[in-house]
């Protein structure tokens, strides 16, 4: 077994590797933020803009951000004061539901608090702080985060662990909350620019974006067809690398069909041929264990496939939450998308094979947060 000291050493090595991959040579820009008055009781810490309180999310919960890129070199900051300031800030909101967003990019050997400090900080946040924390989003995680999480795992309750979500891209953060309300430092925004070649295919990115904005309340979305010629026209544009404006077609079912067609025509299904036999065995798994089995299956996917699957299923989960209007329950979505996500290498699927495929896909949609919520997939090209 790996000892605590070994993990601490490994975490430090991973952090140094992250720094080596940083393309900006360590030059940090000054973040845009509200500047506290010099009479602020924690002005010495608050002036750095490390902790910011933003507007409410879509459910009226306060958004609080912690930005590592705003941390000055350790010799310029009293980390005990930082902890006191964090508690001072949270004390104003812990009686209500609130959300924490941690921007990891910018943490370096020169400005990181010690692991002993992290242990102390976690120990001081008693039940009153954890009770109303609804979600903790870790944005742009790296291998360093995963190692530190393993280091702290014995101290962290399962209930608290379920509140943690890793987010690789700001667009992905937008699936959970309106990040436009957040005070996002320029260094974090620049990560979005460096990752504009993110692994989400443009067809998927654009159809999902359009449907999220204009198709969630459309009855029968994904169950209706569109004019064949329109679909061919759009496919031709994508094949030529030309821009597509779905408003030009006046039919929300066009991007819906394009999305299904894209997934169906992949040479290998998004969830890979290798997963097919495991999906077929799902009916033999005890009902209470099926969600955890699906989670394990997803975690076996290659990282690229996992990221794309998480992006897609997050959207389908959102569609299902509007099922009273659009009539697309997790079960209905599974009937539409199941065979487009997983199939055997021989191509055809018998009627007997459809049931486990539909069950599997329904679980992915309905239990999205459980299935996809805890795998750390380090963002490519981020510190």
Residue 286 three-state SS: coil
What's the rounded Cα separation, in Å, for the pair 54 and 63?
5
Which domains are assigned to the chain?
Answer: 4-194 (3.40.525.10), 202-372 (1.10.555.10)
Are 273 and 345 a contacting pair, CB within 8 Å? yes
pTM across the whole model: 0.56
The share of the chain scoring above pLDDT 90, in percent, equals 47
Quick one: DSSP state of residue 107? -
% helix, strand, coil for the chain, step of 5: 55, 10, 40
Band (pLDDT 50/70/90 cuts) for residue 289 is very high
Are 336 and 312 a contacting pair, CB within 8 Å? no
Annotate 210-241 with DSSP letters as a single string: HHHHHTTT-TTTTTS---HHHHHHHHHHHHTT
Residue 134 three-state SS: strand
pLDDT, tens digit, for every residue of 169-222? 777 787 777 767 787 888 887 775 444 445 788 899 999 999 999 999 999 999
Residue 274 three-state SS: helix
pLDDT recorded at residue 246: 94
Are 54 and 63 a contacting pair, CB within 8 Å? yes
């Amino acid at each position: 077994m790996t000892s605590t000291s070994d993990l601490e050493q490994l975490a430090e090595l991973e952090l140094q590797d992250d720094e080596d991959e940083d393309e900006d040579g360590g030059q940090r820009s000054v973040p845009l933020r509200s500047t506290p008055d010099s009479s602020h009781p924690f002005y010495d810490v608050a002036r750095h803009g490390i902790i910011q309180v933003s507007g409410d999310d879509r459910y009226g919960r306060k958004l609080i951000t912690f930005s590592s890129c705003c941390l000055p070199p350790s010799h310029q900051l009293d980390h005990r004061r930082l902890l006191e300031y964090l508690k001072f800030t949270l004390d104003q909101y812990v009686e209500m539901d609130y959300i924490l967003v941690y921007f990891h990019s910018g943490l370096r050997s020169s400005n990181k608090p010690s692991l002993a400090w992290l242990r102390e900080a976690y120990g001081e946040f008693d039940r009153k702080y954890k009770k109303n924390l609804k979600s903790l989003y870790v944005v742009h995680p790296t291998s360093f985060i995963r190692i530190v999480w393993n280091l702290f795992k014995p101290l962290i309750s399962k209930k608290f662990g379920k509140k943690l979500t890793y987010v690789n891209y700001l667009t992905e953060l937008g699936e959970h909350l309106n990040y436009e309300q957040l005070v996002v430092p320029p260094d974090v925004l620049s990560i979005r620019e460096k990752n504009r070649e993110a692994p989400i295919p443009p067809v998927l990115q654009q159809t999902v974006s359009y449907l999220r904005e204009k198709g969630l309340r459309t009855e029968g979305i994904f169950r209706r067809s569109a004019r064949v010629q329109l679909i061919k026209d759009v496919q031709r544009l994508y094949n030529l690398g030309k821009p597509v404006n779905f408003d030009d077609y006046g039919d929300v079912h066009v991007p819906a069909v394009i999305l299904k067609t894209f997934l169906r025509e992949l040479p290998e299904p998004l969830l890979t041929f290798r997963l097919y036999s495991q999906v077929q065995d799902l009916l033999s798994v005890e009902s209470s264990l099926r969600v955890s089995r699906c989670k394990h299956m997803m975690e076996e996917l290659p990282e690229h496939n996992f990221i794309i699957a998480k992006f897609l299923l997050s959207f389908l989960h959102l569609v299902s939450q509007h099922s009273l209007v659009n009539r697309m329950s997790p079960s209905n979505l599974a009937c539409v998308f199941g065979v487009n996500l997983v199939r055997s290498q021989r191509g055809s699927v018998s009627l007997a094979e459809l049931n486990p495929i539909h069950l599997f896909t329904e679980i992915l949609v309905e239990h999205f947060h459980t299935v996809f919520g805890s795998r750390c997939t380090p963002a490519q090209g981020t510190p």
